[in-house]
Structure 1
Amino acid sequence: MDLGIDRQALVPVVQQIVSAVAQWIRNSGASPGTRLPSIRQLAQDNLLSQSNVIEAFERMVAQGVLASKQGSGFVVAHPPLVHEGQWYEGAERIWGAFADNPLGELKLGCGWLPDTWRESDDISYAIREVTRTDTAGLFNYSTPLGLPVLREQLLKRLTQLHIPASVDGILTTAGVSHAQDLLIRTLLKPGDCVVVETPGYGNLYRQLAFQGVSVLAVPRMRGGPDIAALEALLLQHRPKCLFIHSLYHNPTGTSLSRGVAEDLLALAHRENFLIIEEDVLGDLQHASCTRLSALPHDERVIYVASFSKTLSSALRVGYLSASAALIAQLANLKTLTGFGTSRFAEAVVASLLANGTYRKWVQRLRKRLNAEMAATLQVLEDEEWEVFAVPAGGMFLWVRPGGGEFSRLQACARRLGVLLSPGSLFYPSGEHSEWLRINVAYASDPRAQALFREMGPARSTSTILKTTSM
């Protein structure tokens, strides 16, 4: 087995061994129980030390990819994530594949930035500063509303976005999902109905279903929810809330137009429902945009945001802005269910906001994502993929290949080692969809480029003709 080790690369040799063996398992279709070459043979063939091979194999045993058999060496243990002719079963399995990823597939459909994009030095510096200057943050609970110094920074941010707020009207959370959970449990009861966008955020659908809340689906268009479809739903139902992404919608990448925003607010006043506006990617804006929270709304809009996508998903710091009365209710539930959020994580984020580090990081991130977005759109156009809309920014594209069956796309992705987010994840009923969410931060990888090329109409036709002639 030729592992193709590059001794000049920055990647450690042990990690190169792990990646190469995982690639071999994937490409060869090795079934569980398949025996690998001996450690001695692998080391000899690739001019490696046996200790490096042993360490790599032990890592893969810990990951569940390999198993060690007495007297037989190492064998393949991890079954294929996808069997021939079937797609991933259940959203949890897909998210688990993205998170665990023991075979090192390209996470083209995931919702976060690549590890290689993270600028850990700034976060490390902030952590050291907090550890040195705020020792209480290492040991104590935060306040019910969240760390005061962080909420003061958040108030400045909201003011810059022209969103009316007060310090008492801001609550910190452990990310957007935590904020949504608090809102669902506080505002809704089993049997209530709400409106969600489709396609939309799959985890929200599952949260609502878990609490017994009925979901009314309104199509997401290029400028926001389909107003005509929403009005038709309102004639038949009395929804309590509308959940919406205003900027860089997940998964379509679209943003709310001013006209649609004004129509939504008029409907909310007339039909008496609340709007929960998620703005998790709003920091990536680089042009004029429309937020419902920044328009006159008489406390009908609740603003939810997070630093998980842009800064660090490990810190888990989010927040929401609403009326002081609602914030007090949410703070009580937050304390009851978890004794508050991480004081330490909030102190780190507050430090990054206060010293301007976060602002500079987001500027660099925005520029890099914009370049990747433009390059990805060009490749997709060249290969005749269909793009739902050309986003003004952010990291997501909603696309489908111009040629070939969806089953062929699955097979092609498996062969190339690419993990996709199928369209069914973004519909409440899990209905089949040939659309995919693409994260442009991963799209320049050669595996993604190969997938785009192989699923173009010309190549699909060529493949069909070749198969027919044989």
Structure 2
Amino acid sequence: QIVDGLRGLITGQTLKPGVKLPSIRGFAAMHGVSVFTVVEAYDRLVAQGWLVSKANAGFFVKRRGDEGAAGTPYAQPPQPKFDARWYLKQIFENRNLPMKPGCGWLPHDFLFGDALRRSMRHLSADGSSLEGYGLPYGHMALRMVIAEALAETQISVEVDQVLLTQGSSQGLDLVARQLIKPGDTVLVDSPGYPNLMFMLRFLGANLVGVPRTPTGYDLAALEALLALHKPKAFFTQPRLQSPTCSIASAAHLHRLLQLAETHGFTLVENDIYADMDPVARLTLASLDQLQRVVYIGSYSKTISPNLRVGYLLARGGLIEELAQLKMISGLTSSDIAERLAFGVVTDGRWRK
């Protein structure tokens, strides 16, 4: 109703090009609706070409070069294609929204901004070089901290099995490009992460969705799918899955590993929200010890998304291939970012 109402006011010239709309909170209070409803309505009007969002200024009726005389309605703009490209453009381009449901981003006051600033001051004052490249596998001290932390979660990993990446997105991309060839069938969570779907389709994969449930997976549906397909891999997020926030039970994880062994596919475990879970849980990696599992983690959700520091774990031979692919595609990751992350995770407040 909000979308139709505002569109009618715009086409009827009641709201003229360049006019500023009420703020999201102001509109919500004025009309007795939720902030989320207004966010969705404004975002749709931006996507449809009726409004434009200006950073730190608000939403405005879009100016057009071909508008008719007063009272002449605008032609309906072409409808956008709501796919992963649209999704990525919207969430990163429109900075005026107070919240972005579905993005998985935390409010700034949930992140470790103060610890990051302390780490920056320490790094700039310690006299060590800030020039040059990083190491192929990433900053050694941070890799050691990661290996030690994962040992506490029952994942036994050598430092040489830890590869630092530019966020979890690079980790997913490296694993996908290493494992998947055009025409391969790949299992994914349904619903799942749009950017991962786009990435896998770009590589020519045939995607098959595995339905999520409150306790993990629809195992009957998964077994039926495995009777029809021979997947190369299953990219999944067992814990705090996006967008459902469901958590797979231990029984489901055990069954998933059994099916992976029987049908010969790799499990790619995306565990980027692990640091937000107050409960110690089993993971696919802890049950399998990286025999058939590749494990992906990240600090982007907890320290800062701007830091772009993630990591992946894999068995010996595979981790070497992934490290080589990382170097071929982008050389080393940022040593400065990795040293900043090290400063944060070794800060006494991190564990708290």
- Sort the TM-score into its range (normalised by shorter chain): 0.7 to 0.9
In structure 2, give the amino acid aligned to 1:242. F
Q: Structure 2: 5+ residue runs without aligned partners?
A: 1-5, 22-51, 65-75
In the TM superposition, residue 162 of structure 1 has moved relative to its aligned partner by 0.7
In the other structure, the counterpart of 1:112 is 105
Indicate the larger mover: 322-331 or 285-294.
285-294
In the other structure, the counterpart of 1:189 is 181
Task: Please give the alpha-carbon distance, in whole angstroms, between the structure 1 residues aligned to 2:116 and 2:107.
Answer: 16
Whether contact under 8 Å (2:139, 2:338) holds in the other structure is: yes
In the other structure, the counterpart of 2:44 is none
Partner SS state of residue 351, structure 2: helix
In the other structure, the counterpart of 1:126 is 119
Give deviations 1:148-185, integer Å, cap 9, x for gaps.
01100111111011112100001000111100110111
Whether contact under 8 Å (1:196, 1:244) holds in the other structure is: yes
In the TM superposition, residue 85 of structure 1 has moved relative to its aligned partner by 12
Task: Please give the alpha-carbon distance, in whole angstroms, between the structure 1 residues aligned to 2:310 and 2:342.
Answer: 12
Is 1:306 equivalent to 2:291 in the alignment?
Answer: no
Whether contact under 8 Å (1:246, 1:290) holds in the other structure is: no
Partner SS state of residue 290, structure 1: coil
In structure 1, give the amino acid aligned to 2:17. P
In the other structure, the counterpart of 1:357 is 349
Whether contact under 8 Å (1:247, 1:282) holds in the other structure is: yes
In structure 2, give the amino acid aligned to 1:131. S
Q: 1:259 aligns with which of 251, 255, 260?
A: 251
Partner SS state of residue 358, structure 1: coil
In the TM superposition, residue 313 of structure 1 has moved relative to its aligned partner by 0.3
Whether contact under 8 Å (2:17, 2:62) holds in the other structure is: yes
- Cα distance change, pair 273–104 in 1 and its aligned pair in 2 (3 A): closer
Whether contact under 8 Å (2:187, 2:209) holds in the other structure is: yes
- Cα distance change, pair 118–63 in 1 and its aligned pair in 2 (3 A): same
Partner SS state of residue 357, structure 1: coil
- Cα distance change, pair 31–183 in 1 and its aligned pair in 2 (3 A): farther
Is 1:32 equivalent to 2:17 in the alignment?
Answer: yes
In structure 2, give the amino acid aligned to 1:93. W
Task: Please give the alpha-carbon distance, in whole angstroms, between the structure 1 residues aligned to 2:172 and 2:124.
Answer: 30
Task: Please give the alpha-carbon distance, in whole angstroms, between the structure 1 residues aligned to 2:232 and 2:54.
Answer: 47
Task: Please give the alpha-carbon distance, in whole angstroms, between the structure 1 residues aligned to 2:230 and 2:160.
Answer: 30
Whether contact under 8 Å (1:302, 1:320) holds in the other structure is: yes
- Cα distance change, pair 61–254 in 1 and its aligned pair in 2 (3 A): closer
Task: Please give the alpha-carbon distance, in whole angstroms, between the structure 1 residues aligned to 2:95 and 2:270.
Answer: 32
In the other structure, the counterpart of 2:228 is 236
Backbone CA RMSD of aligned residues: 3.0
Give deviations 1:44-98, integer Å, cap 9, x for gaps.
xxxxxxxxxxxxxxxx9975979xxxxxxxx95468xxx8997873333333333
Task: Please give the alpha-carbon distance, in whole angstroms, between the structure 2 residues aligned to 1:174 and 1:35.
Answer: 39
- Cα distance change, pair 331–271 in 1 and its aligned pair in 2 (3 A): same
Task: Please give the alpha-carbon distance, in whole angstroms, between the structure 2 residues aligned to 1:61 and 1:264.
Answer: 44
Give deviations 1:214-267, integer Å, cap 9, x for gaps.
111110112212211111121222111111111111111111111111111111
- Cα distance change, pair 176–242 in 1 and its aligned pair in 2 (3 A): same
Listed as ranges, the matches of 1:288-307 within 5 Å are: 288-296=280-288, 299-307=291-299
Provide the aligned length of Structure 1 versus Structure 2: 301
In terms of fraction of residues, the more helix-rich structure is: 1
In structure 1, give the amino acid aligned to 2:176. I
Partner SS state of residue 217, structure 1: strand
- Cα distance change, pair 256–216 in 1 and its aligned pair in 2 (3 A): same
Task: Please give the alpha-carbon distance, in whole angstroms, between the structure 2 residues aligned to 1:344 and 1:221.
Answer: 40
Task: Please give the alpha-carbon distance, in whole angstroms, between the structure 2 residues aligned to 1:293 and 1:272.
Answer: 16
In structure 2, give the amino acid aligned to 1:109. G
Listed as ranges, the matches of 1:132-281 within 5 Å are: 132-133=125-126, 135-136=128-129, 138-281=130-273
Whether contact under 8 Å (1:256, 1:290) holds in the other structure is: no
TM-score by length of 1: 0.59
Indicate the larger mover: 296-305 or 109-118.
109-118
In the TM superposition, residue 287 of structure 1 has moved relative to its aligned partner by 2.2
Task: Please give the alpha-carbon distance, in whole angstroms, between the structure 2 residues aligned to 1:204 and 1:273.
Answer: 18
- Cα distance change, pair 31–98 in 1 and its aligned pair in 2 (3 A): farther
Listed as ranges, the matches of 1:353-392 within 5 Å are: 353-360=345-352
Q: Structure 1: 5+ residue runs without aligned partners?
A: 1-24, 37-59, 67-74, 361-470
- Cα distance change, pair 187–90 in 1 and its aligned pair in 2 (3 A): closer
Whether contact under 8 Å (2:138, 2:332) holds in the other structure is: yes
Indicate the larger mover: 116-125 or 345-354.
116-125
Whether contact under 8 Å (1:65, 1:102) holds in the other structure is: no
In the other structure, the counterpart of 2:43 is none
In the other structure, the counterpart of 2:90 is 97
In the other structure, the counterpart of 1:344 is 336
Whether contact under 8 Å (2:290, 2:313) holds in the other structure is: no
In structure 1, give the amino acid aligned to 2:85. E
- Cα distance change, pair 161–314 in 1 and its aligned pair in 2 (3 A): same
Whether contact under 8 Å (2:153, 2:280) holds in the other structure is: no
- Cα distance change, pair 154–209 in 1 and its aligned pair in 2 (3 A): same
Indicate the larger mover: 160-169 or 108-117.
108-117
